Structure 1
Amino acid sequence: MGDLTFVDVCSGAGGLALGLERAGFVPRLLLDIEQYACDTLKVNRPHWKVLNADLLDFDPMDHPEVYDVDLLAAGLPRVQSSATVTRRSSDTEIRLIQATAYLVHAVQPRALVIENVPTLVDEESLAPVRDFLHKELEHLGYELTWFILNASDFGVPQDRKQGILVAVKHRWAGAFLPPRPTVHQHLSVGAALAPSMRSGGWPDADRWAAQATSVAPTLVGGSKTHGGPDFGPSGTKAKWRRMGVYTKSFGNEPPGPDFKWDPSLGNDGLVRITVDQTALLQGFPPDWRFAGGKTARYRQVGNAAPPPVGKALGQAVAQALQTPSPPHAGYTSSP
């Protein structure tokens, strides 16, 4: 088998696509509804074919390059869990999941990866969504595996759980195994951000990094209706403050030589992290550039799939698709 190919829908800032690229996949088409996200993809990978379009309106017959691909990847907008799943605010998210399943009907990739909230895997209120996917995909010859990954287990300095569905055609399904953690010791916020914190000449960078020994709380990008960049709910902000981080806004650049870090002074003594630094906490490389202003950039970062997780998923799928005459393991699913 030559180069493995993929189509990526709801691509966002390219976290999943970048990970798949690192796993050896070559993209045929990336699609996203947000212009800033498409601009981000184009500035970082000018050779990728990027389409600014709504998945709900996408017709694969107009884009024949999406046929005969190895993988369809979808980092879909987060579905709401529990009681909120039936509210109007979740209609679009559910419709995008349905559109992905219908695209599988048309494209018939050898494998499908959907990345979303962990509750999609096992919460009872989302059972109808799982049932729909099983009904639509199993009769097409796919076997479905549901599982949850935490990005911190793959070298990402963030406590970020992701619900994953991998559906693989019967011929290769028996060889698929969910990725196993790639690190034995989690990367801390301090270790991840220390070089960036030093870059402006801040003398307290190492002292700050030495006490920021945990992974970051989950970054949340929000939506167009959610407002500006935000550190999240009060409990999340409290975790950041315990690491000496200011939580009312993001900084524009790393601290300079005159900044004195002293949490005893209250907000004035806390360090501000930048949007570019949050991208490091998502596992993006330092040279990955994000289009738009601060709000648009952080929204892309917070909503992204961490590239190291994308790479691990890609490697697991690639291993299955490249296994000659794999043993048939039968249907697998988490509860």
Structure 2
Amino acid sequence: MSKPQGHNPQRARVTLALLPNRSKIEHTFDRLEGPALRTDSNRFTAVEICAGAGGQALGLTEAGFHHLFAVELDPTAADTLRSNLRIEVAVGDVADPEVWSPADFQGVDLFAGGVPCPPFSIAGKQLGSNDERDLFAWAVEQVAVMKPRAVLLENVRGLAASRFSGYRQRVIDRLSALGYIADWRLLHSADFGVAQLRPRFILVALRPEDAPYFHWPTPQPRDRNVGPLLRDLMAANGWPYADEWAQLANGIAPTLVGGSKKHGGADLGPTRAKQAWRELFVDGKGVADSAPGPDAPGPREVMPRLTIEMVARLQGWSESDNWAFAGRKTSQYRQIGNAFPPPVARAVGGAIADALMRVGEPSSELSSGQRNVHDPVYTALANARDFVSIESLVKAESLGNVAAVERRLASLSNDFELLVEDGPGGTRYRLGDFKGFVGQGEHARRQYFEKHRNRVS
């Protein structure tokens, strides 16, 4: 696909892995190993939103999915994705009907995406549905339009917090109403061949006929550490201390932080993350243009900084990929730091592909049973036809005491209108409207986006 006219980005050529160009995909599949391998005859279709620079797209391609379409807000990241995988990418607000039409892709096998993380990030304010960047609920509504066989949405670990249990419950219930069986799982990237912890909270939903064949991917031994993985890149310019540094950096990295347009240039994260990088003898205050040279001091004297190539490898791109990141250094770093690691996407995508092909024995691992109740107070209120007393909530949900229920109600009020009625029998509650953006034209999210388009990322 041709690049946008007038867009001539600078590039960092990264020696990474797997898909040098579109014409070699079939041969690349023949060389891959592992249970997620798919032949061309078994490939499934996919549409991906908030696709970024292609970490999830690459992993899903390796797992046997062919992208019909992708949507990405940032034009530079879209150029990265388009030029490496040669797929059609629309640039703009994914919720803008002028950018794309989900109805055009009805019946796609997989609807996937990595919707914005800041609404749920522990490093932020955890505003959830009150954050103008929240698209999770909107994405779930597109399932009703596209009617895919499977859904894969990923986000940060913060979404697994108690603060968002009602939000998660609404997602599960909405997908159930649409005819899907869904569940969440916290996966650590280090368990799937990535040299950093990088926990990701992942939602998978499938139709009832496919769901019994889905099995969450099995964690593997954590055998990838920063030093050995990056030793050759640190030595690329003749640094004589590369071996010493590799031994000092022989551990798993903290989570890379890509950040957003609201923040400054490329660095490896907040204060706590920088301390963790120091323990691996890495200066996390910035990203270097190149590896240390032959005259650079040893790591005990001056800790080296990582380059774009090194950061990309830590995120799971491999050395033979020839993946090119468009844009300047800060943009490249953000693209990589915000990516879903390709090996994790491949593992989850492979498990979904197995389910779609009904591979193996059916089980109840992905079920609609009691294990999917994330918030019993939300469930009780959502199912009630009238106001409910707090004493009834305590009794019905076995939460122990009034204080525990009150805490849950306080959390729910962040994302839902909570109607309160005081009467002779005490205070009673009823669940009102969801505050989040699901596509409504009058929602504050639309007005904010129109006014602050260049600040949203």
TM-score (norm 2): 0.67
Q: Distance in 2 between matches of 1:277 and 1:227?
A: 20
CA shift for structure 1 position 128: 2.8
1:195 corresponds to which residue? 232
CA shift for structure 1 position 210: 1.3
Q: Is the 8 A contact 2:258 2:334 kept in 1?
A: yes
Instruction: Report the RMSD for the aligned CA atoms in angstroms.
Output: 2.2
Is the partner of 1:116 in helix, strand or coil?
A: strand
CA shift for structure 1 position 191: 1.3
Matched, 1:54 2:88: no
Q: Is the 8 A contact 1:29 1:65 kept in 2?
A: no
Q: Distance in 1 between matches of 2:299 and 2:145?
A: 58
Q: How does 1:174-189 map to 2 (within 5 A)?
A: 174-181=212-219, 183-189=220-226
2:73 corresponds to which residue? 33
Q: How does 1:219-230 map to 2 (within 5 A)?
A: 219-230=256-267
1:146 corresponds to which residue? 184
1:86 corresponds to which residue? 127
2:368 corresponds to which residue? 331
Q: Is the 8 A contact 1:60 1:106 kept in 2?
A: no
2:246 corresponds to which residue? 209
Matched, 1:135 2:173: yes
1:308 corresponds to which residue? 343
**Percent identical:** 38
2:315 corresponds to which residue? 282
CA shift for structure 1 position 131: 2.3
CA shift for structure 1 position 114: 0.7
Q: Is the 8 A contact 1:60 1:107 kept in 2?
A: no
1:124 corresponds to which residue? 162
Q: Distance in 1 between matches of 2:226 and 2:299?
A: 18
Counterpart among 46, 50, 62 of residue 10 in structure 1:
50
1:102 corresponds to which residue? 141
Q: Distance in 2 between matches of 1:61 and 1:298?
A: 27
Bigger Cα displacement from structure 2, 104-113 vs 1-10: 1-10
Q: Distance in 1 between matches of 2:74 and 2:159?
A: 24
Question: Once the two structures are superposed, what CA deviation does each residue of 1:116-175 show, in whole Å capped at 9, x if it has no partner?
Answer: 012323x22112321221232111110011110000000100011000110111110111
CA shift for structure 1 position 91: 2.0
CA shift for structure 1 position 62: 4.0
**CA 1:2/1:236 → structure 2, altered by over 3 Å: closer, same or farther?**
closer
Is the partner of 2:154 in helix, strand or coil?
A: strand
CA shift for structure 1 position 37: 0.7
Q: Distance in 1 between matches of 2:303 and 2:100?
A: 54
Counterpart among 108, 115, 126 of residue 154 in structure 2:
115
AA at the equivalent of 1:42: R
**Number of residues of Structure 1 aligned to a counterpart in Structure 2:** 326
CA shift for structure 1 position 262: 4.0
AA at the equivalent of 2:183: T
Q: Is the 8 A contact 2:121 2:157 kept in 1?
A: no
Q: Is the 8 A contact 1:186 1:215 kept in 2?
A: no
Q: Distance in 2 between matches of 1:59 and 1:328?
A: 42
Bigger Cα displacement from structure 2, 134-143 vs 4-13: 134-143
2:204 corresponds to which residue? 166
TM-score (norm 1): 0.91
5+ residue gaps, structure 1: none
Q: Give the structure with the higher percent helix.
A: 1
Question: Once the two structures are superposed, what CA deviation does each residue of 1:217-236 show, in whole Å capped at 9, x if it has no partner?
Answer: 10111100011112212221
Matched, 1:76 2:115: yes
CA shift for structure 1 position 317: 0.2
CA shift for structure 1 position 60: 9.1
Counterpart among 246, 264, 272 of residue 235 in structure 1:
272
Q: Is the 8 A contact 1:73 1:114 kept in 2?
A: yes
Question: Once the two structures are superposed, what CA deviation does each residue of 1:161-198 show, in whole Å capped at 9, x if it has no partner?
Answer: 000110111110111111111x3233000111011112
Q: Which protein is bigger by CA-based radius of gyration?
A: 2
Matched, 1:271 2:273: no
Q: Distance in 2 between matches of 1:136 and 1:283?
A: 33
**CA 1:35/1:288 → structure 2, altered by over 3 Å: closer, same or farther?**
same
2:411 corresponds to which residue? none
Matched, 1:218 2:258: no
**CA 1:60/1:180 → structure 2, altered by over 3 Å: closer, same or farther?**
farther
AA at the equivalent of 2:266: P
Question: Once the two structures are superposed, what CA deviation does each residue of 1:31-64 show, in whole Å capped at 9, x if it has no partner?
Answer: 1010011010122122x11111211114697466
Q: Is the 8 A contact 1:190 1:210 kept in 2?
A: yes
Q: Distance in 2 between matches of 1:188 and 1:328?
A: 35
Q: Is the 8 A contact 1:81 1:125 kept in 2?
A: no
Q: Is the 8 A contact 2:282 2:303 kept in 1?
A: yes
Q: Is the 8 A contact 1:222 1:302 kept in 2?
A: yes
Is the partner of 2:125 in helix, strand or coil?
A: helix
**CA 1:65/1:196 → structure 2, altered by over 3 Å: closer, same or farther?**
farther
Q: Distance in 2 between matches of 1:325 and 1:152?
A: 26
Q: Is the 8 A contact 1:55 1:99 kept in 2?
A: no
Is the partner of 2:318 in helix, strand or coil?
A: coil
